[in-house]
Amino acid sequence: MPTLAIVGAGSGMGLAIARTFGARGFDVALLARTPEKLDDLVALLGKEGITAAAFPADVLDRPSLTAALDAVRARFGTIDVLEYSPAPHSPVPGFTMAAPSEVTVDNLQPQIEYTFYGAVTAARAVLPAMRAAGAGTLLFTTGGGSINPVPMFGNVNAAGGALRNWVINLHNELAGSGIYAAHVAISTWIGEGGPEGIPSAAPEQIAPMYWELYERRDQAEAVFTG
C-alpha cells in the first residue's frame, strides 16, 4: 500500500485529503500537535475502511517533526506522498497578524518558523528515501495571499510567499528525478462562515485537486479559486 503523510492534519482539509487518497488505496499518516484530535480522525477514517495512524508532532519543534516522520516510515514502510498544510485553528502563542508596515522581526519570525521552516524540515526528512526510490510526491499548501497578498496578512503572506518560492524552485530542481513537488494555493475561505464578500468552498470541493496533481505531475503550482 502507498502511504500519504499529512502534516497539519485536522478535521477540515486534512480529513478531506486523507479521504481522497485513502479511498484510492493509500494508507494515511496524520501528523498534528493534539493527540486526541488525531485519534478521533484515525477512528473516523477506520470506520470508512481507510487505514490511518496518528503521529503527534509540532512543526515548531523541528526534531519532533523529523522524529514523527521517521516513525511513519517505521510503521508503514514508505512515505510516498507528503502533504504539508499546518494552519493554526486556535490561538498560538506569539502568532499575530500584521499589516506590511507593522511587520517586525518579532511578529514575522514565528510565521516563518511555522510555515516555511516546518516545510523545509518535513521535506528533508522524506527526501533521502524518495531519492533512493526514484519516486515520491511533495505537496505544500498556502493561502492565496502567498500569490496575491492582502494587507491585513502582511507577515502571514510573506511567510507563505517564501514557501511558495522555495517549492517552485524545488519542483525545478527535482525535474527528471522521479520526485514531484508542487505548491497549492487556496484562494477561498475553507468551509462556512467566512468574511462577507470572500468566496468559500468546502474541503471536499478542494481536495480532488491534490489527487489531480499527484496523478498528472505536470505543474509546479495549482491555485484553487472556487
Exposure pattern of 153-184 as b/e (b: 16+ CB <10 Å)? Answer: bbbbbbbbbbbbebbbebbeebeeeebbbbbb
Domain range holding 68?
3-224
| Owner of C-alpha cell 503523510 | 5
Three-state DSSP at 197 gives coil
- Number of domains composing the chain: 1
Sign, Cα dihedral of 160, 163, 169, 175: negative
Q: What is the pLDDT along the chain (226 residues), one digit of tens a residue?
A: 999 999 999 889 999 999 999 999 999 999 999 999 999 999 999 999 999 999 999 999 999 999 999 999 999 999 999 999 987 654 566 678 899 999 999 999 999 999 999 999 999 999 999 999 999 999 999 999 999 998 989 999 999 999 999 999 999 999 999 999 999 999 877 766 655 556 778 889 999 999 999 999 999 999 998 7
Q: What is the CATH number of the domain that holds 152?
A: 3.40.50.720
The reported pTM is: 0.94
Which helix (H) or strand (E) is 53 found in, with range?
A: strand 52-56
Q: How far is CA 91 from CA 83, 88, 96, 122, 189, in A?
A: 23, 7, 9, 23, 18
The three cell numbers locating residue 112: 516563518
The reported pLDDT for the residue numbered 194 is 57
